[in-house]
Structure 1
């Protein structure tokens, strides 16, 4: 399973959270404690917003701990809103196109979890994409496909409705193939103004998610970046989190029943 982190608040250097803490995201790429797989070595990515409406994006296939460019960028880049992700592949190949975060215009998306037996449902889900979104697909992951489906179903206007619509479509596709394993997601989205996070599973425990208010900002992460974990709040299962400024709102995320 992957590890990720998102921050918004007063501008800070990326390395303040990605590199410096005693359980930083880069350290988690070597030894995560809240993931099924401890090592996340199938690439990484970071994205940050600056003075423009669209974010900067850096993705690489090297393990995060071995990339000197990441260290240099993180030490010299300051941002008021950024996200980063270290990847543990669930079957798709390791390439820049498959590394998170994914970006379309002002939107960013990253994900931990998986659509079970993805290859069995991939065709049914990909054919739901309109041409304009299908042509934006550059990789092969279920994560990128989820992002494009969200954009198609109104993410820009009604994020919660888009999430429920797409998650329901995924559940219906899984059910139609008789797949017994759960769909799991711990994801984060930004439009450059705020963050949304979802912690969800068809059944059983979803991948973890935590939130913490820090000096002048707030952090949403799949795992605390501090070993002490003081001040970190676990997000409950089946939850939608909205981060606006320094405020944190947690709502229930329950799908509506819909026939296939």
Structure 2
């Protein structure tokens, strides 16, 4: 469906991973070996928190319907800014039209959200799920994707206070409504959410066969494993990425996030918790 990347750590030019890695996000937009679609050329987006951001800071975003590999603005922007936490997403449209408001990541106040996957037979569920969004949040729904509805449903159900509980409640509602409409597997995908300090990365599907999700190991560990790889010197000790698929072929650098799991990334590193594993 799509490919995405989330970075947290010392301030970094996004181009380092979005453009310059061997299997960068832009490379994956042209050729995604682990994706449901090989090509993800139906637009892209970047969202980043500025250097020196404090709690509650609003992230900047840039979206385009151009293929990521063909947009000079993406190259200029990601080489010009630095950020301690950023999201990027390349899209393969599965139904909703190719338009800028349908490009991830989505933003609400200081929150960023992106999704790889789909809500099964969304047309059957769309009305009920949209009407379940809090009326005060509804004006913030600018596009037509199932992903944006899922984000605002999670906001309605408590994501700001507790992202894990909020996402769990939103998916509960998706599966309840889906089953009422005869949808066998209503939820599919991986999700990234951030408040500017922490990243929550979810891997879950109703079928138990979710889209791929990986995260890097600690940079000091990578330096010990590969002391001669010069590229590692570009990253600080706290640099981590969560990705739809690995950015390089070095064994041991990326670990797969298990099915029905949320990987929580903060300044102390990763913490895995079961998510809807029952």
Would you call these one fold, judging by a TM-score over 0.5?
yes
Secondary structure at the counterpart of residue 198 of structure 1: strand
* SS, match of residue 37 in structure 1: coil
Distance 1:74 1:139 in 2: 24
Q: In structure 1, what is the equivalent of residue 116 of structure 2? A: 112
Mapping of residues 103-182 of structure 1, within 5 Å: 103-182=107-186
1:255 Cα shift? 6.7
**For each residue in 1:138-163, what CA deviation from the matched residue of structure 2 results, as whole angstroms up to 9, or x when unmatched?**
00001001111111111111111111
The change in CA–CA distance for 1:246 and 1:71 in structure 2 (over 3 A counts) is: farther
1:243 alignment counterpart: 265
State the 1:182 CA deviation.
4.5
Offset of residue 246 of structure 1: 4.5
| Cα distance, 1:20–1:31 mapped onto 2, change above 3 Å | same
Which whole-Å CA distance do the structure 2 matches of 1:246 and 1:34 have between them?
Answer: 29
Cα pair 1:8 1:81 within 8 Å, conserved? yes
Give the 3-state SS of the residue equivalent to 2:167 in structure 1: helix
> What are the residue-to-residue correspondences of 1:42-81 with 2, within 5 Å?
42-50=42-50, 51-52=52-53, 53-81=57-85
Distance 1:154 1:179 in 2: 25
Instruction: Report the TM-score, using the length of structure 2 for normalisation.
Output: 0.89
The structural deviation recorded for 1:226 is 1.1
Question: How far apart are residue 75 of structure 1 and its match?
Answer: 1.1
**SS at structure 1 position matched to 2:7:** strand
Q: Output the CA distance in 2 between the equivalents of 1:255 and 1:120.
A: 26
User: Per the alignment, in what secondary structure is the counterpart of residue 186 of structure 1?
Assistant: strand
Cα distance in 2 between the residues matched to 1:32 and 1:246: 31
Q: Which residue of 1 aligns with 2:34?
A: 34
Q: Verify the 8 A CA contact 1:9 1:246 in the aligned structure 2.
A: no
Distance of aligned partners of 1:91 and 1:30 in 2 relative to their CA distance in 1, 3 Å threshold: same
Any idea what SS the aligned residue of 2:168 has? Answer: helix
Contact 1:168 1:255 in 2 (8 A): no
Cα distance, 1:228 vs. partner? 3.3
CA-CA distance at 1:118 after TM superposition: 0.4
Which stretch shows the higher mean deviation, 127-136 or 232-241?
127-136
In 2, the alpha carbon distance for the partners of 1:155 and 1:163 equals 6
Q: Which residue of 2 aligns with 1:194?
A: 198
Q: Hey, what does 1:9 align to over in structure 2?
A: 9
Give TM-score scaled by structure 1 length.
0.95
RMSD over aligned Cα atoms = 1.3
Question: In structure 1, what is the equivalent of residue 21 of structure 2?
Answer: 21
How far, CA to CA, are the matches of 1:227 and 1:87 in structure 2?
23
| Residues 107 and 190, structure 1, Cα contact 8 Å, conserved in 2 | yes
